[in-house]
Structure 1
Amino acid sequence: MKVIIADDHPLTLNGTKLFLESLKYRVVETAQNGVKALNLIHIHQPDVAIIDINMPGLDGLDILKAVKEQKLKTKIVLLTMHKESSIYQRALELGVDGYILKEFAIKELDTCLQNLNCGKKYLNTIIESDLIFDTNKMEVGLEKLTVSERKVLELIANQKTSKQIAELLFISEKTVEGHRTKIIEKLALPKEKNALLKWLILNKI
């Protein structure tokens, strides 16, 4: 199995390379930025590319997207410190073949590559359980919303402004903003700009 590794941290890059070589995998090239990594994938057409998400030039998700859109045969494994369900979900949407947290890399990399060699995907079980927890928490949060709050949420999902929502529901903008605040609290979202719209887009509501 031919493998390419990309990581902008030299110690992690070299450590991963030595570890895989000790397991008899053939590491044909390494890269410390995303542009070089994608070029190496085109040149060598490896069986697998193990890519860090955070890299200069192109990040891991950019590379994943490019490989899938160009229908290259290389399977992409994202090796990362990110536990955020939003990043994980995006990787799934783009068709990632493997997703491993760096803290579990020694335990999981070999199993991951064996799975890929058999035509199976490999996803970190910790992330999977966290995502299920987040989804359950999301459903519980929605159940807490009143009829008015659900209607406001539906209009926000349609990217209506507070002013437009107020006009459609025959209420004041202040009341709409009050509903927004309550929804954010009930869904336990961060109090930041566009947090609610981002949540709606992420969860495809």
Structure 2
Amino acid sequence: MVRILIADDYPLTLMGTKAYVELLGYRVVGTCANGLVALNLIQQLRPDMAILDINMPGIDGVDILQKLHQQQAYTRVILLTMHREAAIYKRALNYKLSGYLLKEHADTELADCIRAVSGGLHYKSKYLDASHVADASAISDESLSPIERRIVALVAGQKTSKQIGESLFLAEKTVEGHRSRIISKLRLPKEKNALLKWALSNIKR
């Protein structure tokens, strides 16, 4: 039986994923909400597979993947995340990523992903086309801070302020504040969807 470890700092997501994976007939050998704990458990338990969130306390999911790759670990890693940025996916591929899923579509893809990864295949969410995903590194305006660049990339993906906040772990009001400063820095007209229009026209996709 395939042995799986799951790590996510959102309790509902963590327990929901665990329950679903067990319903599929797999054995969950451990769960946790911290990246460092996840890395230690993977090293101790050597599960066949680890389903990891990217943003977690301690170290993030991509860093765990990198360390496991450096150690030539046995465990295959699936990243289950809200991040659509092409740069994150491409970075993870450098460390032999086995699967990349978006949380919003996990209910329809997780079973297929686990099955594929169990068979030694790579699985990328059909909702994540790296050639059409907004890439924060493609934003050339140097006046924007790193967080502002990520926000613009998500705006180009037609995400709402609420969705951006959930993805970057920011309050919706904080995102709105960033958007206002971005519009000011880019000297955009204060009209509806001005930032979205700029992002769609200026970000390579």
TM class, shorter-length: 0.5 to 0.7
CA distance in structure 2 between the aligned counterparts of 1:53 and 1:134, rounded to whole angstroms:
17
Alignment-derived partner of residue 75 in structure 1 = 76
Instruction: Please report the TM-score for the alignment, with normalisation by the length of structure 1.
Output: 0.65
The letter of the residue matching 1:105 is: A
Q: Cα distance, 1:80 vs. partner? A: 0.1
Measured in 2, the distance between the counterparts of 1:36 and 1:22 equals 25
- 1:192 maps to a residue whose letter is S
Deviation at 1:82, TM superposition (A): 0.2
Q: 1:97 to 1:194 in 2, by over 3 A?
A: same
The residue number in structure 1 matching 2:40 is 39
Q: Is the 8 A contact 2:49 2:76 kept in 1?
A: yes
The 5-angstrom pairing of residues 1-205 of structure 1 reads 1-128=2-129, 131-133=130-132, 189-192=140-143
Distance in 1 of aligned mates of 2:139 and 2:37: 40
Q: What amino acid is aligned across from residue 133 of structure 1 in structure 2?
A: H
Q: For residues 111-160 of structure 1, what are the alpha-carbon distances to aligned partners after superposition, in whole Å with 9 as ceiling and x for unaligned?
A: 011101111010112212xx22369x9xxxxxxxxxxxxxxxxxxxxxxx
| Closer/same/farther in 2, CA of residues 190 and 85 from structure 1, 3 Å limit | farther
- Aligned letter for 2:94? E
5+ long unaligned stretches in structure 2: 150-205
SS in 2 for 1:36: helix
Structure with greater proportional helix content: 1
Deviation for aligned residue 1:95:
1.6
Taking the aligned partners of 2:35 and 2:115, their CA distance within structure 1 comes to 25
Query: What RMSD, in angstroms, separates the aligned Cα atoms of the two structures?
Result: 2.3
SS in 1 for 2:78: strand
Q: Is 2:84–2:133's contact at 8 Å kept on the other side of the alignment? A: no
Distance 2:17 2:119 in 1: 22
- Distance (Å, rounded) in 2 between the aligned partners of 1:11 and 1:194: 32
SS at match of 1:192: coil
